[in-house]
A and B are shown apart, each in its own frame.
Chain A
């Protein structure tokens, strides 16, 4: 009896050691992705990466982020929270005196950068995403305030970027979303100057429900 019990435990442990199950193959391929992408970044097994149980994700706002734009940031997060019917993203103030750059340090942050590499001056913002297995553990947002001007209500000129639209997009990345190109979405890769794209679409709603 104890021997059977030990064998069962060994089998259970072996089962735990196995990686995720891949999708089935077909006439031409041996295997496919573990899951449909559903608009999310996928790991090497084809699993969607998201925050799983670690919701809500707390983003620390770096002191350099302009206080007058904090409401816009929170409003951008609220779009995602409303669609999910739960708090996906909340914010805290970063008062630890940390450097104003997106460091991989297990703390998710939002930065407003006045210094930006000239070679990347076409980027309005950037979100770094880190995961282990299929669970996200850190995300850092940096906004390019060197090469872009932003507006909340009305643009001063045609190149100004609608900050809420931009932040909705970046917070989509924080949640694990990738760029979309075939459906109307706030996750389109480019946001033109003066354009407003602050309404989440049906595709965005369906996407977020795949994981949250």
Chain B
């Protein structure tokens, strides 16, 4: 007669823990395999290393694939960060091929970026206030992100609402930011939602755009930027 194998409760619990740990390590190994960094050869033969995960390299994407793929890479890790106490949106970096077929970061081809915001929950005479934050497209030192352009809220909130344009210098002489407001009449709205990103190429008809609905579809919710918000 075959003896029925029975696990005592602590043994069963231990087995379950071992199985879960196995799954965890399996996922870790798979992730490591799929997100390893790549080295890419430039046209002149010199090897340039961009320390980005493989999914950020869109240099081999077809034009059709690229239309949507860049939006995912730009937005999937979008987050509000604080620079010198001012909030801004940090986006994801990605790589493309330039006209000489050299793989370069997006900022090399699109040197100017707009972050477009709408005031949340407020309209003045049916018009929702808008804010455009325009500045240089800068790749972060870790090469995985585009640097945030911080909004100088202290300066803005202390100015009259009739002032519709502000400028601010980026740290380390990286350029300047221009901030434009539209439809602000009674008071400065303090809660804003990202409704678009636009990257400008070197010619007027060359740009990459993402709208606010796409931001929500990728992040699962709107991305809010609050004036005076302290971010850890």
Contact = CB atoms under 8 A, between A and B. Distances in A.
Q: Which of A120, A126, A128 has the most CB of B within 10 A?
A: A128
B221 A126 contact: no
B193 A31 contact: no
A203 B113 CA distance: 38
Contacts, number: 83
Given A31-B216, A102-B186, A126-B186, A44 B195 contact: yes
Contact of B124 (A43, A44, A128, A187): A128
B162 interface: yes
A179 B125 contact: yes
B216 A44 contact: yes
Contacts of B121: 43, 130-132
Contact of A173 (B126, B218, B220, B222): B126
A127 B221 contact: no
A41 B185 contact: no
Contacts of A132: 121
B68 interface: yes
Q: Which of A22, A29, A43 has the most CB of B within 10 A?
A: A29
Interface stretch (B26-34, B147-155, B207-215): B207-215
A170 B126 CA distance: 9
A126 B124 contact: yes
A61 B71 CA distance: 49
B174 interface: no
A38 B121 CA distance: 18
Interface string B127-160: 1100000000000000000000000000000001
- Interface bracket on A: 35 or more
Q: Which secondary structure dominates where chain B touches chain A?
A: mixed
A52 B121 CA distance: 15
A31 B67 contact: no
Contacts of A34: 213
Contacts of A170: 125
A127 B216 contact: no
A32 interface: yes
B118 interface: yes
A83 interface: no
15 contacts: A19-B220, A28-B67, A31-B217, A41-B123, A41-B126, A43-B121, A44-B118, A44-B120, A44-B195, A120-B185, A123-B125, A126-B185, A127-B124, A128-B124, A179-B125
Interface of A: 19, 22-23, 25, 27-34, 41, 43-46, 102, 117, 119-120, 123, 125-132, 170, 172-173, 177-179, 187
The 7 closest A-B pairs by CB, nearest first: A178-B126, A31-B217, A31-B213, A129-B123, A30-B214, A119-B162, A44-B193
